[in-house]
């Protein structure tokens, strides 16, 4: 990717100028050799072209699409009057898929346009954009160019992102496009980047930079202005402390910093590598020294962030039985929005699976033409074909993670359509579907995620015990009908039992249930005596919370050998969620959440499953895996799990927080909350005061301290909020990670938006220290 390469002979300030010039070049020179100038752009996209936009079989219209000069915003023509914003950002795209891959395209177009079709999928809840190009070649070029742009944007260093963002704002602020900044343009610019300053301060800042006294900033003056803005005093202090070699950091100084401050095992070889990789100033690099800019560059790299980068890969032992893992799980996966009248879509399965979800749910009902359908029974949610859902699952199951996917069936179908379900699963999933135990003979325990790589497991009702297939003459009679528990209503247990409908089960479908047979829960003692390891129960959140509180240890022991699935109360018709942490504390594996709903509970889920290669499987701590485990998250009697630590977080500063209120005049008043989730004794929340009117570079230097007793179950959430004295604070961004994946010392914390997607240039800067409390 030659256009991304930095030219190392340039100093950083030359780089910035080059960048500014390239931005200017884009402004004036839309076509041509742009890729040689700007690392981001694509002349194909900048030129744009006509595409046929598909909404339905009858609504297909030609629209002009092109990339705007900021190399980030796609513009498209819209015939809708008053449509204020016919644009979208490349940062909002989650994927671009060539072919008729979306539900919409499959429904609304003919097979022969397959190669000319592509879909743009968005993050969050935004609908896909389904498009048809005039030729296959053109479709491929759109997809290739978009993917390349997305890749390039993602692959930029934080510094490059910051520069790009600031120059985009500078361009925007330069209203009359004369390449100079007047004082009022500077003030506008500051608002654009989320700083509100009074006129006196603007004047002062302006005077400082306007060395030519022309009343405008231009050229080097803009560069100076940029440097003043992005100057970080805290970095000066930290760098100054360790740069003991004629004002620079030698490899020895860097090792000193890494060992003393960052608590890393670092050698001189590591230090040399860092300087070689991150020092941009050739002069310093030649002398094997690290400049302040190089130091900051390093602090922004993924390996220096607050999240232990060793945990990005699958680093846990994946050879334990399935019941020893927390499994990322989704409830009513087919729903895009609410539980009453919202749309259902195969896209919802794709999104959940791509987020690493390993247990999806399918509510199956009889459909017309002998094709079973999926929707939320007795509601107005729309329907999708069962076979389409299975196909979508097959296509996307193992893109984020190789580890097994559990298909949780809620079956309301007639025997005839159940046979159709079994046929579809068998023909679409093929050998990836587990239809018999992995071992010879009757298994006595679950296989491991490792053994089940690339496999699908069916969770559902079964006519008999699995043992019956081995001892046909055994006295385990086949039940002819089983009852399906309803999840849609929220009545208490008795009434629910009455409403349970008897259901005839098709043998073909029953036989596909091997390791996850659904049974009713009749207490821990009954389960221990009468249930086999593969017989598992589903618990409504309220019931599960009660067990997790009142019989926590019994629940932990139950979950050593057996699986438990928890689902949200039926009263959550808005698809809201519940806190999964108390249920993980009790060892429950499948804590199913409404993945489509952005909220703190989903942040916790994303944080829990952030580590271990985003495989969707997290090994439970050893004290929750042994038979007869003594661990009780509520009483916390003495045991291996008690490792009392104190967590010290100094919240130092933040950079480039986004505006939360779209109004131009509204500037963020940020405060930082640090929250600990885990066993009840560890749950805590502390916050800094708010900094008024500065979302660009606020500083706090605030110390927050926490006691953590069971580190292995604890999660830490950093949340930035916009302080509001008259109503609730507004969410700005957050990052959640396991306590044991925190790195010590001076660390940047990435920030995610409500939907869990990264905010491209925003981050927090903190100092983290964990000490033994004893």
Ligand X SMILES: *[C@@H]1O[C@H](CO)[C@@H](O)[C@H](O)[C@H]1NC(C)=O
Choice between 135 and 155, CB closer to ligand X? 155
d(CA 605, CA 588): 13
Distances (CA, A) of 757 to 105, 658, 753: 26, 13, 6
What is the CB neighbour count within 10 angstroms for residue 551? 17
Q: Which two tokens stand for residue 45?
A: 């996209």
Q: Between residues 14 and 155, which has the closer beta carbon with respect to ligand X?
A: 155
Which of Ca ion, ligand X, none has residue 178 at its interface (CB below 5 to 8 Å by kind)?
Answer: Ca ion
Structure tokens at 524: 């821990």
Per-position b or e across 693-707, b if 16+ CB within 10 A of its CB: bbbbbbbbebebebe
Q: Select the binding partner of residue 174 from Ca ion, ligand X, none (C-beta < 5 to 8 A, by kind).
A: Ca ion
Q: Does 70 appear as a known binding residue? A: yes
If you search the block for the tokens 């009142």, which residue do you land on? 550
Kindly name the residue from 324, 376, 396, 412 that is annotated as catalytic: 376
Residue in 4, 207, 269, 474 binding ligand X, rule: CB under 6 A:
4
Residue 355 marked as a ligand binder: no
Tokens of 405: 């996917």
Which residue stretch of 335-343, 526-534, 572-580, 639-647 sits at the interface with ligand X (rule: CB under 6 A)?
526-534
Per CB under 5 A, does 215 bind Ca ion? no
4 binding partner (options ligand X, Ca ion, none; Cβ < 5 to 8 Å by kind)? ligand X
Contact call for residue 2 and ligand X (CB under 6 A): no
**According to the binding rule CB under 6 A, does residue 276 interact with ligand X?**
no
- Quote the CA–CA distance of 731 and 720 in Å, as a whole number: 7
Residue 530 or 637: which CB sits closer to ligand X?
530
User: Of the candidates 303, 370, 491, 526, which one interacts with ligand X according to CB under 6 A?
Assistant: 526
Strand partners of residue 592: 329
CA atoms of 690 and 627, how far apart (whole Å): 49
Q: Is 57 annotated as a binding residue?
A: yes
Stretch that binds Ca ion, among 149-157, 176-184, 342-350, 457-465 (CB under 5 A): 176-184
- Residue 459 assigned ligand-binding role: yes
For the question of residue 648 being annotated catalytic, the response is no
Range 174-180 contact pairs with CB under 8 angstroms and sequence separation of 24 or more: 177/27, 179/24, 179/218, 180/216, 180/217, 180/218
Rank residues 214 and 530 by Cβ distance to ligand X and give the closer one: 530
572 is in an annotated binding site: no
CB closer to ligand X out of 56 and 497? 497
Task: Between 151 and 470, name the residue whose CB sits nearer to ligand X.
Answer: 151
Query: Does residue number 221 form part of the binding site for Ca ion (CB under 5 A)?
Result: no
Pick one of Ca ion, ligand X, none as the site partner of residue 416 (Cβ within 5 to 8 A by kind).
Answer: none
Residue (202 or 600) nearer to Ca ion, CB: 202
Residue from 525, 550, 640, 724 touching ligand X (CB under 6 A): that is: 525
Of 615, 611, 618, 648, the closest CA to residue 741 belongs to: 611
The answer to whether 210 contacts Ca ion (rule: CB under 5 A) is no
Residues in the interface with Ca ion (CB under 5 A) total 4
Binding positions for ligand X, 118-157, rule CB under 6 A: 155, 157
Is 212 assigned a ligand-binding role in the annotation? Answer: no
Is 538 one of the annotated binding-site residues?
A: yes
Set 300, 331, 424, 748: catalytic member: 331
Nearer to ligand X, 135 or 530 (CB): 530
Taking the CA atoms of the chain, what radius of gyration do you get in angstroms?
29
- Residue 121 or residue 297: which is nearer to ligand X going by CB? 297
Give the dihedral of Cα atoms 453, 456, 459, 460; nearest 10 deg: -160
Instruction: Classify burial at 475, counting beta carbons within 10 Å of its beta carbon; exposed 0-12, middle 13-18, buried 19 or more.
Output: exposed
In this chain, which stretch among 336-344, 365-373, 410-418, 522-530 interacts with ligand X, using CB under 6 A?
Answer: 522-530
State which of residues 69, 174, 223, 682 lies at the interface with Ca ion (CB under 5 A): 174
63 is an annotated ligand-binding site residue: yes
Binding at 637: pick from Ca ion, ligand X, none (beta carbon under 5-8 Å per type): none
Q: Is 331 a residue of the active site?
A: yes
Task: Choose the contact partner of 1 out of Ca ion, ligand X, none; CB within 5 to 8 A by kind.
Answer: ligand X
Residue 322: name the closest of 410, 439, 463, 453 by CA. Answer: 453
The CA distance from 352 to 358, in Å, is 8
584 is an annotated ligand-binding site residue:
no
Give me the DSSP letters along 426-472. Answer: HHHHGGGB--S-SSSS--SSPPPTTTTTT-EEEEE--SS-GGGGT-T
Q: Which stretch binds ligand X (CB under 6 A): 225-233, 255-263, 439-447, 521-529?
A: 521-529
Six-digit token pair at 348? 């919802």
Instruction: Tell me the C-alpha distance between 99 and 94, whole Å.
Output: 16
Q: Which does 530 bind (CB under 5 to 8 A by kind): ligand X, Ca ion, none?
A: ligand X
Instruction: Name which position in 178, 276, 303, 416 contacts Ca ion (CB under 5 A).
Output: 178
Which of 1, 207, 269, 773 touches ligand X by CB under 6 A?
1
Does 591 belong to an annotated binding site?
A: no
Kindly state the tokens that stand for 273. Answer: 């590598």
Collect all residues with Cβ–Cβ distance below 8 Å to 236 and sequence separation of at least 6. Answer: 292
Say whether 419 counts as a known binding-site residue.
Answer: no
Identity of the residue, 174 or 279, whose beta carbon is nearer to Ca ion in the bound complex = 174
- Kindly list the distances between the CA atom of residue 98 and the CA atoms of 115, 708, 734, in Å, as whole numbers in the listed order: 7, 49, 33
212 is a site residue for ligand X (CB under 6 A) = no
**Residue 705 labelled as part of a binding site:** no
126 binds, among ligand X, Ca ion, none (CB under 5 to 8 A by kind): none
- Could you tell me how many residues of this chain bind ligand X (CB under 6 A)? 8
Q: How far is the CB of 527 from ligand X (least distance, A)?
A: 8
CA torsion through residues 729, 734, 740, 744, sign: negative
Q: How far is the CB of 542 from ligand X (least distance, A)?
A: 23
529: partner contacted, choices ligand X, Ca ion, none (Cβ within 5-8 A by kind): ligand X
- Annotated binding-site residue? 692: no
Smallest distance from ligand X to CB 479, Å: 13
Residue 50 annotated in ligand binding? no
Q: Tell me which H or E stretch contains 66.
A: strand 60-67
CA distance 294 to 651: 23
**Minimal CB distance residue for Ca ion:** 174
Residue 484 in tokens: 């399906």
Instruction: State yes or no: 43 annotated in a binding site.
Output: no
User: DSSP characters for 202-243?
Assistant: HHHHHHHH-TT-SSSB-THHHHHHHHHHH--HHHHHHHHHH-
Complex with ligand X: residue 4 or 269, whichever CB lies closer: 4
Binding window for Ca ion (CB under 5 A); candidates: 3-11, 179-187, 463-471, 513-521: 179-187
Applying the rule CB under 6 A, the residues between 667 and 696 that interact with ligand X are none
Q: Are 734 and 269 in contact (CB under 8 A)?
A: no
Question: CB of residue 423 vs ligand X: minimum separation in angstroms?
Answer: 34
Q: What sections of 156-219 are H helices per DSSP?
A: 158-173, 183-192, 199-209
Of 634, 528, 521, 625, give the one whose Cα is nearest residue 581: 634
Maximum alpha-carbon separation in the chain:
99
With CB under 6 A as the contact rule, the residue among 135, 309, 530, 635 that binds ligand X is 530
* Beta-sheet strand order (sheet of 730-738): 684-687, 670-677, 715-722, 730-738, 745-752, 758-772, 645-655, 699-708
The residues assigned a catalytic role are 331, 376
> Which residues are known binding-site members for substrate?
53-80, 459, 461, 538, 565
Contact footprint for ligand X (CB under 6 A):
1, 4, 155, 157, 525-526, 529-530
> Which residues are known binding-site members?
53-80, 332, 361, 363, 410, 459, 461, 538, 565, 667, 669, 693, 722, 724
Contact footprint for Ca ion (CB under 5 A):
174, 176, 178, 180
């Amino acid at each position: 990717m030659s256009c991304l390469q930095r030219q190392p002979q340039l100093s950083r300030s030359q780089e910035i100028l080059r960048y500014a010039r390239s931005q200017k070049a884009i402004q004036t020179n839309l076509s041509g050799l742009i890729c040689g100038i700007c690392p981001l752009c694509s002349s194909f996209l900048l030129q744009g072209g006509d595409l046929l936009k598909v909404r339905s079989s009858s609504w297909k219209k030609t629209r002009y699409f092109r990339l705007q000069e900021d190399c980030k915003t796609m513009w498209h023509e819209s015939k809708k009057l008053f449509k204020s914003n016919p644009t979208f950002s490349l940062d909002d795209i989650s994927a671009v898929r060539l072919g008729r891959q979306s539900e919409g395209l499959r429904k609304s177009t003919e097979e022969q346009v397959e190669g000319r079709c592509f879909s743009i999928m968005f993050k969050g809840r935004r609908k896909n954009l389904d498009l048809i190009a005039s030729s296959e070649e053109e479709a491929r070029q759109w997809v290739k160019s978009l993917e390349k742009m997305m890749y390039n944007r993602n692959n930029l260093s934080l510094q490059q992102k910051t520069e790009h963002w600031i120059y985009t704002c500078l361009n925007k602020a330069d209203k009359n496009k004369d390449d100079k900044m007047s004082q009022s343009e500077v003030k506008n610019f500051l608002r654009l980047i989320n700083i509100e300053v009074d006129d006196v301060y603007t004047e002062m800042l302006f005077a400082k930079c306007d060395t030519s006294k022309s009343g405008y900033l231009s050229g080097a003056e803009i560069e100076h202005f940029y440097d003043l803005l992005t100057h970080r005093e805290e970095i000066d202090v930290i760098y100054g402390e360790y740069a003991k070699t004629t004002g620079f950091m030698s490899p020895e100084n860097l090792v000193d910093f890494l060992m003393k401050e960052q608590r890393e095992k670092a050698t001189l070889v590591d230090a040399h590598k860092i300087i070689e990789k991150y020092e941009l100033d050739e002069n310093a690099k030649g002398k094997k020294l690290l400049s302040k800019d190089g130091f900051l560059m390093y602090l922004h790299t993924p390996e220096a962030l607050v999240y232990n980068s060793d945990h990005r890969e699958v680093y846990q032992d994946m050879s334990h039985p399935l019941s020893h893992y927390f499994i990322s799980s989704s409830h009513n996966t087919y729903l895009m929005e609410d539980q009453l009248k919202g749309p259902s879509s195969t896209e919802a399965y794709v999104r959940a699976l791509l987020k690493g979800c390993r247990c999806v749910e399918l509510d199956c009902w009889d459909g017309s033409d002998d094709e079973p359908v999926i929707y939320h029974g007795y509601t107005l949610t729309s329907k999708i074909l069962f076979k389409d859902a299975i196909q979508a699952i097959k296509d996307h199951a193992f893109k984020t993670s190789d580890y097994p996917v559990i298909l949780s069936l809620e079956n309301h179908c007639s025997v005839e359509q159940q046979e159709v379900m079994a046929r579809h699963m068998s023909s679409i999933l093929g050998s990836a579907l587990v239809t018999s135990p992995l071992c010879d003979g009757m298994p006595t325990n679950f296989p491991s995620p490792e053994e089940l790589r690339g496999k699908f497991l069916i969770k559902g009702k079964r006519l008999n015990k699995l043992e019956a297939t081995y001892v046909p003459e055994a006295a385990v009679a086949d039940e002819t009908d089983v009852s399906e528990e309803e999840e849609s209503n929220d009545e208490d247990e008795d009434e629910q039992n009455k409403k349970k409908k008897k259901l005839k089960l098709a043998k073909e479908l029953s036989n596909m249930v091997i390791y996850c047979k659904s049974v009713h829960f009749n207490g821990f003692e009954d389960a221990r005596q009468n249930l086999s390891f593969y017989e598992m129960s589903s618990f409504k959140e309220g019931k599960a919370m009660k067990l997790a509180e009142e019989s926590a240890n019994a629940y932990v022991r139950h979950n050593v050998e057996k699986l438990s699935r928890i689902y949200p109360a039926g009263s959550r018709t808005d698809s809201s969620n519940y806190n999964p942490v108390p249920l993980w504390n009790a060892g429950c594996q499948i804590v199913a959440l409404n993945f489509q709903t952005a909220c703190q509970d989903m942040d916790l889920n994303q944080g829990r499953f952030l580590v271990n290669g985003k495989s969707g499987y997290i090994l439970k701590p050893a004290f929750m895996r042994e038979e007869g485990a003594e661990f009780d998250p509520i009483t916390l009697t003495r045991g291996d799990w008690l490792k009392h630590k104190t967590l010290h977080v100094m919240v130092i500063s933040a950079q480039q927080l986004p505006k939360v209120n779209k109004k131009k005049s509204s500037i963020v008043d940020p405060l930082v909350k640090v929250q600990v989730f885990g066993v009840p004794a560890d749950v805590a929340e502390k916050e800094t005061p708010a900094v008024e009117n500065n979302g660009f570079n606020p500083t706090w230097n605030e110390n927050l301290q926490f006691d953590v007793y069971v580190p292995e179950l604890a999660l830490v959430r950093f949340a930035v909020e916009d302080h509001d004295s008259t109503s609730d604070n507004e969410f700005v961004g957050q990052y959640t990670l396991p306590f044991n994946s925190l790195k010590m010392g001076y660390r940047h914390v990435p920030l995610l938006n409500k939907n869990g997607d990264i905010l491209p240039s925003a981050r927090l800067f903190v100092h983290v220290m964990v000490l033994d409390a004893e």
